[in-house]
Structure 1
Amino acid sequence: MQVSVENTSALERRMTIGVPAERIETEVNKRLQQTARRAKVPGFRPGKVPMSVIRQRYEASARQEALGDLIQETFYEAVVEQKLNPAGAPAVEPKVFEKGKDLEYVATFEVFPEFEVKGLDGIEIERQDASVEDADIDKMLDVLRKQGTRYEAVDRAAANDDQVTIDFVGTQDGEAFSGGSAENTKLVLGSGRMIPGFEDGLVGAKAGDERVLDLTFPEDYQNLDLAGKAAQFKVTVKEVAAPELPELNEAFFKQFGVEETTVEGFRAEVRKNMDRELRQALKTKVKNQVMDGLLAANQIDVPAALISNEVDRLRVQAVQQFGGNIQPEQLPAELFSEQAKRRVLLGLIIAEMVKQFELKPDDARVRELIEEMAAAYQEPEQVVKWYYQNEQQLNEVRSVVLEEQVVDTVLKQAKVTDKQVSYEDAVKPAEAPQAA
């Protein structure tokens, strides 16, 4: 087998491969002999069909099959011989493809980039620290109670946070416009659901009142036909209802799957969840900064085949997440190209970090992470057991731990500044690209 390689770009290789005719004929004859043992030809007993008849009937298909298999076999033999690492399937172009002659074909493909991760000591990280205080728990309880707010009708003027039931008709120059009218709409005053001035204009109204509101749609209103334009709304208030927050009692606690009978016990459960959320938020912020730093310090060429494959995966994920009667390939590739490139880049860099620093998943950390995830379930020991019985899920956890070890490796060399922040600031998502 003869092999020659041409570098057509930083990552693209054009490899010409020659396969001797003898090897081809050997493979063709092997297939014809296999066919002869099972072929059913009228006038002949199975296994007794003359080879001349077998060759006449089946040689063309046997040769086509042999050539296809030989191209696949010899391509991988050639890349091993040339110590190449293809990043995708090759595009094969036959040069000589005739019976009795050596097979010669050209395989064009991309290879994985060869590089060494560098610049770790130049990466700057702000590592936040925070703790869950009693005041944070108080705020969380208020949020949980507001989520369960009920409204009871009252005989008084409406105030902010009250819920009003209204009919309204919107007009422009005396004519009703599309989408500007509704009946029996429930609106919480101060919620910001309506355009500026609408909710304020209903403060002080009672059930049975009618109000006329002269308003202007915002310049950035989603309906461009209405953006920046004046409108008049005639509103009829049908009911005013005051908010009633649920009591912190056993019935309330059960809504969140918590079997507690005391406020103290429920607060303890809330604290555990907030602590878990805080740890994850702090870890994620550091990880995002590390990944951004690695990308900035390691500008490498990326195989287009890997980006294309990642775009396809993101398309499928988008369809699964948002549904709709659409096929993944109908989504424009450019919607996902930047995210796909970032993910591929990080995948390559992380893989090289693992190799370069000889990292392996720490079994103790794997166990710790599984137990932390299992703690959110009612029977955590069953969840832990399930992970260790499911190799695929266990490998996913190992991958997460390996990424954490990559982050730790970077932090040992990076310029790290520690900063104390509040719980609220710590759990607030940072505006950063998606990590690996």
Structure 2
Amino acid sequence: MNITRNNVDALNAVVTVEVSKNDYASKVEKVLADYRKNANIPGFRKGTVPMSLIQKQYGKAVLLEEVNKLLQESLNNYLVEEKLDILGNPLPKVTDDFNWDADDYKFEFELGLAPEFTVDLAAKNNLTHYKIIADETMLNAQVARIQKQYGKVISKDKVEEGNDVSGVFSNEEKGINNRTTLDMELFADAKTAKKFIGKKVGDVVTLKTKGLFNDDHKLMDVLAIGHDDVHGLDIEVNFTIDEVVGYEPATLDQELFDKLFGSKVVTSIDELKAKIKEDAEQQFEQQSNQKFLNDVSEYLIEATKFDLPAEFLKKWIQTAGENPLTEEQAAEEYTRSEKGLRYQLIESKVITSNGLQLTFEDLKEYTSNLIKKQMAQFGQMNPTDEDVQGIVARVMSNQEEVKRLSEQLMSEKILNLFKEKVKTKTKEVNYENFIKVMYGEA
């Protein structure tokens, strides 16, 4: 057997595999001999069927199967030995005059080669890493929500100031029909809240969506519509009241603090706000990190220039799925997936260039820490190491879970690397302004 490679250019190559009769003959003979031993053909005792008959009946199929197995094994070994970094899979070149009746065969395969490039994480950029703070307005609002949540609920006959109203938003033309509960204090204009004062169950209040809330995204929740539909929405909606609820706020005392956080963890309103701030900003950090990771990823795709073997990949896409695609369909799929492929290559380069490999011990420790956090959420603050490791063992026996956790851990490693090496501006914002940035409105 002889394997040679012709590099068409930096991104494309053709591998030629020459198979001689000596490479496959003994394998074919052995398979046919096994067939002969077990063949059950009328007129012959088992094991006495003439080899010529076995050859005639099974010879071509066995030849094709054995040559194909030999071909795939040899090609795979060649790619590994030559350390070729390919995209997709090798594509066999179709030969119209191929002759299976010959003794020797020649097969050609097209290869799409991964491009050579470098990723400069330290290059100058215009990226911003946002630090989201829980400001005093948010803290006061959260304290008020706690007082309402743990206060005494009072059913009302009619709407008074400070009440909540439940009911159904509707607009037939836009297909809006959604039940929700409204906090009067969330309206952008106090005049809107006054429209509800004195209303009773069954009354209908007509509202304009434009400027109804300070944050248009609130409309997404109360009307149950998508983000693309909510911006610039300027229609009238009817709100049919079906329940009026008043509250007697809970007293901010030690009993409430203990109920919220445990005995003596919080002992004053200032400590309450500090605890709320700490918890909120921990959650905000996750959202900020995700945006940072997304922004750096987008930046690297734009800033890291390299070519791809586009025509090869389009041909590969045609045959890669369960159902073959037309050239046009494959071209469309390539256009949709090109950006993702580019980032996969960039991410792989970042991982290898910076030694971000995962070890079993890394994954085991990461899983252990996650389990401890989850147990703490359910009040198990000091689980034994034996209990934790028992759960870790069960989790890591599930291959799907191992894959998911490995992806999470690698994403965390990449995030930390980006924080260390990608030089960005840091900007403090409150949550409201961060949401505007997220949706490109700031």
TM-score normalized by structure 2?
0.64
Aligned partners of 1:248 and 1:307: how far apart in 2?
65
1:387 to 363, 369, 392: 392
1:351 to 348, 352, 361: 348
> Which residue identity does 2:110 align to in structure 1?
T
State the identity as a percent: 19
1:278–1:383 Cα change, 3 Å: farther
1:71–1:362 Cα change, 3 Å: closer
CA root-mean-square deviation: 5.6
3-state DSSP of counterpart to 1:299 = coil
Q: CA deviation at 1:385?
A: 4.5
Q: Counterparts of 1:357-396 in structure 2 under 5 Å?
A: 357-361=354-358, 369-370=366-367, 372-374=369-371, 375-377=373-375, 378=378, 379=380, 382=387, 385-387=390-392, 390=396, 392=399, 393=401, 396=404
Report what 1:69 is aligned to. 69
> Which residue identity does 1:351 align to in structure 2?
S
1:300 to 291, 294, 306: 306
Report what 1:97 is aligned to. 99
Contact 2:163 2:245 in 1 (8 A): no
Contact 1:129 1:426 in 2 (8 A): no
Unaligned runs of 5+ residues in structure 2 are 211-222
Unaligned runs of 5+ residues in structure 1 are 171-176, 316-328
> Which residue identity does 1:207 align to in structure 2?
K
3-state DSSP of counterpart to 1:49 = coil
1:424 to 406, 415, 431: 431
Does residue 1:203 correspond to 2:196, yes or no?
yes
3-state DSSP of counterpart to 1:88 = strand
Q: CA deviation at 1:32?
A: 0.8
Aligned partners of 2:145 and 2:313: how far apart in 1?
44
1:25–1:289 Cα change, 3 Å: same
Report what 2:294 is aligned to. 288
1:44–1:334 Cα change, 3 Å: closer
Contact 1:278 1:427 in 2 (8 A): no
Report what 1:318 is aligned to. none
Aligned partners of 1:132 and 1:386: how far apart in 2?
35
> Which residue identity does 2:246 align to in structure 1?
A
Aligned partners of 1:309 and 1:275: how far apart in 2?
47
Aligned partners of 1:165 and 1:202: how far apart in 2?
15
Does residue 1:110 correspond to 2:121, yes or no?
no
Q: CA deviation at 1:424?
A: 3.4
Aligned partners of 2:176 and 2:80: how far apart in 1?
71
- CA deviations on 1:314-365 (whole Å, 9 max, x unpaired) are x9xxxxxxxxxxxxx9xx9999977744443232222222322334348887
Q: Counterparts of 1:127-276 in structure 2 under 5 Å?
A: 127-129=129-131, 139-143=141-145, 152-156=154-158, 158-159=160-161, 161-163=163-165, 188=182, 190=184, 202-207=195-200, 240-243=244-247, 260=262, 264=266, 273-274=279-280, 276=282
| Deviates most, 33-42 or 53-62 | 33-42
Report what 2:219 is aligned to. none
Q: CA deviation at 1:189?
A: 6.8
Q: Counterparts of 1:18-29 in structure 2 under 5 Å?
A: 18-29=18-29
> Which residue identity does 2:357 align to in structure 1?
K
| Deviates most, 81-90 or 259-268 | 259-268
Contact 1:189 1:203 in 2 (8 A): no
Report what 2:58 is aligned to. 58
1:64–1:246 Cα change, 3 Å: farther
> How many residues are treated as equivalent by the alignment?
397
Aligned partners of 1:45 and 1:133: how far apart in 2?
92
Contact 1:88 1:110 in 2 (8 A): yes
Aligned partners of 2:6 and 2:117: how far apart in 1?
20
Contact 1:127 1:286 in 2 (8 A): yes
1:237–1:36 Cα change, 3 Å: closer
